[in-house]
Amino acid sequence: MEILSEIGVLGSNMVDDNMRERRVKHQEGNTLATIRDIEKGLEANLQECMNFLQVLTEDNSRKGATAEWVSEDADGSLELEVVHATRPVTAPVKPSLHIHERLESAQRVSYEVDDSAVASQSSCRNVHTEAKKPRFQNVVTEVDLELDNVPRMNKKVYPHHDCSATKMQPSNLQLQLNGRIRTWSTESISETPNSTPRPQSVLSSTGSQNDKVSVCVRMRPFNEHEKVCPLKQVLCSQKDKVIVKDYNYLRQGNTANTKAECQFDVDYVLDDSFLSRGNRQRKEESQRCMYKILGKPCVENALDGYNTTIMAYGQMGSGKTYTMMGDGTLCGRGLVPRIVHELMHRVHEDQKSGACFSIQVSYLEIYQEKIRDLLVEKKMEQREEESGVTCSFSQTESPSAGGRGTNFSFRRPIKKDYIRIREHPVTGPSVEGLIWKDVATYGEMDKLVKKGTANRTLATNRGHTLFTVKLTRMQKNEKSKGTSVSFINLVDLAGKNWAFHMFNSHQFFISIPPSNREIINLKGSEKMALGQKPLVERTYESRYINRSLAQLNDVFTNLSSGRSNGKFVSYRSSALTWLLRESLCGSTKTILVANISPAEQDFQESVHTLKCAAKAKRIHGPSNQDSDTKKQICMKMDEEIRTLQYLIADLTKNTTQSSSELIKHGKKSPDEVEILRPTREADGRSCFENVFQRRPASWR
């Protein structure tokens, strides 16, 4: 176990010397690599890394161990197994290395570098398994070395298992990224030469300029329950793809005409499945990486006056709240606190240079299709006491809930808590009476986030939450006076859960405790009578959640198939899609974070999430042509406003002038002028109407 936990920090340049030494001591008398050795290999370029692996192999072989590449995955990765008399180690080299030759102890590595390839950065991923191979008495450790952005081998020149020796030319390692950014955490990687571009954001990743929704997939680590059970990892991430290893599994044994693998192309994949949950440093790296890729560009966008929406989608317990909010610790802060922090910082910086901003936030929850403001002053508990509606229950642990969420209380909100969505003809859907709190500092914003989170109907996320930051910039310069407003919408969607499926599928039936199974055959009232109220409540919640998520999915389907084919997109069928309408079809840039679980038991849900994400990725925003037309319309409208302002000013001046002149010259008394006012105003109106009539048709 000690080895396992130590190996867990490999690849991180945050391993301290103590750890290194401990590891060395631990290896005393053995021939295995120390952390230092492995790091050396990882931090070096491909050539050095390969040398390192070779040395490791030879070294072990010299000292009586046998070493060989033992297996090859479908994705082309090879597994190196080093077996020592007392301590075996399995070190699989992961897909992105793409070695297509069999490497044995004294054999030379041969490969050729593809010119368009990228190089030099490396990182390490670690998967831990215990006692996988019973033939070894001692520890079996899997060290999963992944070298990101290393050159792809040229398959044509060097087919599989061709061992013709061609030495790799390090000069061939092109220090350039080929378009898309697929780098694992920059923090974990040793500094690369200046010529190597830094990772970019999802928003700026390649792909069609008209892509409305960018999709990022995040795979959570195995939880304690999954680590204990011998569950296999069925999804594998590869740069901007997620590969479903055993697609036939989906078909439940129906192997005819099915693909063995299925792949989903997205914009970015963050695979945390190798993370050990207790490892704070890797956790922070991962969260920071998520922020760099998604959060930072979102702040930039807002400061530039554009709207951005980030939504986390996935099954229950897949890490949505972790992605959006974090785990409550400083190192594990999620997107919301990090975005808010950066935004406040940037606004303060800009204010120093004379810019004028105001920031307001709102926080709401959609629970069972009803909307609640989470920033209301009065606490829920007080209201419950007043209304007398409250109940608490304990939840049997969900298999996918990540070993948490055992007890929570259900607090039914009272009717007056609910607010309604209204459709504004110009600004679109808005929530009536939603509180917008002014914030000036990060502390204030943080307090509001915490308050809102505490005000949620349930301790766990059984409703969708929408945290919105409204940034108003007051333009002071002569050229562009007025204000520009931008929104950052941060949406934590509720996840599907087993309670819903329990009533619908046999598979989930067997996953619930036997004591609860008999209630499936009972009617609602009987279930209540059995004291299963909490379970029934959860089922109702799940129904609402699943219905609204299904509607969101429908909207994705309709939008991805192109609205041009005349399909009506029904946004108003659920509160969620209605509120997100602007994010899905308006000018807002949207990022969908599809949270998935690496475990076999969540396979179906993960694939469902990936399918939904793939649909969202196909949604196209307004074309450049459209935006050009919009620009022209805006310019014309600006012109029109200026003309009207001029006319109003002119008319007011004339009216007051002529009235005062009439009084002054004694031609009319003030009373007579007052009587004449309606006639003058009517004249003014007709003048306006004339102007309106003369407007070009395109203005109307």
Q: Of the listed pieces 127-135, 200-208, 309-317, 472-480, which binds ligand ATP according to CB under 6 A? A: 309-317
Q: Nearest distance from residue 524's CB to ligand ATP, in Å?
A: 24
**Strand 437-439 versus strand 428-431 pairing type:** unpaired
Residues that bind ligand ATP (rule: CB under 6 A) add up to a total of 23
Confirm or reject binding of residue 316 to ligand ATP (CB under 6 A): yes
Task: Tell me the two tokens of residue 337.
Answer: 């606190």
Give the residues across from 269 on adjacent strands: 217
CA distance 556 to 313: 13
Q: State how far the alpha carbon of 661 is from the alpha carbons of 158, 478, 670, 678, in Å.
A: 97, 35, 11, 18
Is 320 annotated in some ligand binding site?
A: yes
Q: Which amino acid is at 200?
A: Q
x/- mask, ligand ATP, residues 251-290, rule CB under 6 A, reads ---------------------x--x-x-----x--x----
Q: Of the listed pieces 136-144, 179-187, 254-262, 313-321, which binds ligand ATP according to CB under 6 A? A: 313-321
Q: Which amino acid is at 8?
A: G
Q: Judge whether 342 and 296 are in contact, CB under 8 Å.
A: yes
Which contiguous run of DSSP H or E holds residue 421?
Answer: strand 421-424
Nearer to ligand ATP, 90 or 595 (CB): 595
Confirm or reject binding of residue 322 to ligand ATP (CB under 6 A): yes
By Cβ distance, which residue is nearest to ligand ATP?
A: 319
**Which member of 125, 152, 245, 320 binds ligand ATP (CB under 6 A)?**
320
Q: Nearest distance from residue 507's CB to ligand ATP, in Å?
A: 19
Confirm or reject binding of residue 48 to ligand ATP (CB under 6 A): no
Q: Judge whether 173 and 120 are in contact, CB under 8 Å.
A: yes
CA distance 629 to 662: 49
CA distance 105 to 448: 60
Give the residues across from 217 on adjacent strands: 269, 594
**Which member of 327, 350, 397, 446 binds ligand ATP (CB under 6 A)?**
327
Q: Nearest distance from residue 216's CB to ligand ATP, in Å?
A: 12
Is 317 annotated in some ligand binding site?
A: yes
Is 316 annotated in some ligand binding site?
A: yes
x/- mask, ligand ATP, residues 215-234, rule CB under 6 A, reads -----xx-------------
Which residues from 437-476 bind ligand ATP, rule CB under 6 A? 460-461
Q: Give the helix, strand, coil percentages of the chain, each rounded to 5.
A: 40, 20, 40
Is 460 annotated in some ligand binding site?
A: no
Q: Of the listed pieces 70-78, 291-299, 317-325, 678-686, which binds ligand ATP according to CB under 6 A? A: 317-325
Q: Judge whether 277 and 319 are in contact, CB under 8 Å.
A: no
Is 463 annotated in some ligand binding site?
A: no
Is 319 annotated in some ligand binding site?
A: yes
Which residues from 366-405 bind ligand ATP, rule CB under 6 A? 402, 404
Ranges assigned E (strand) in 448-599: 464-475, 482-492, 589-596
Q: Nearest distance from residue 597's CB to ligand ATP, in Å?
A: 9
Task: Tell me the two tokens of residue 100.
Answer: 């297509």
Nearer to ligand ATP, 113 or 316 (CB): 316
Confirm or reject binding of residue 295 to ligand ATP (CB under 6 A): no
x/- mask, ligand ATP, residues 495-534, rule CB under 6 A, reads x---------------------------------------
Is 5 annotated in some ligand binding site?
A: no
CA distance 554 to 542: 18
Q: Nearest distance from residue 107's CB to ligand ATP, in Å?
A: 38
CA distance 222 to 153: 31
For CA atoms 636, 637, 638, 643, the dihedral sign is positive
Nearer to ligand ATP, 83 or 466 (CB): 466
Is 452 annotated in some ligand binding site?
A: no
Q: Of the listed pieces 116-124, 131-139, 320-328, 509-517, which binds ligand ATP according to CB under 6 A? A: 320-328
Nearer to ligand ATP, 98 or 277 (CB): 277
Q: State how far the alpha carbon of 613 is from the alpha carbons of 213, 259, 310, 447, 675, in Å.
A: 9, 20, 13, 33, 68
Q: Judge whether 33 and 134 are in contact, CB under 8 Å.
A: no
Give the residues across from 308 on adjacent strands: 488, 589
Confirm or reject binding of residue 246 to ligand ATP (CB under 6 A): no
Q: State how far the alpha carbon of 448 is from the alpha carbons of 364, 409, 467, in Å.
A: 12, 22, 10
Task: Tell me the two tokens of residue 5.
Answer: 């936990």
Alpha-carbon radius of gyration of the chain: 31
Q: Nearest distance from residue 492's CB to ligand ATP, in Å?
A: 7
Residue positions forming the annotated binding site for ATP: 314-321
Q: Given the rule CB under 6 A, which residues bind ligand ATP?
A: 220-221, 272, 275, 277, 283, 286, 314, 316-322, 327, 402, 404, 460-461, 494-495, 595
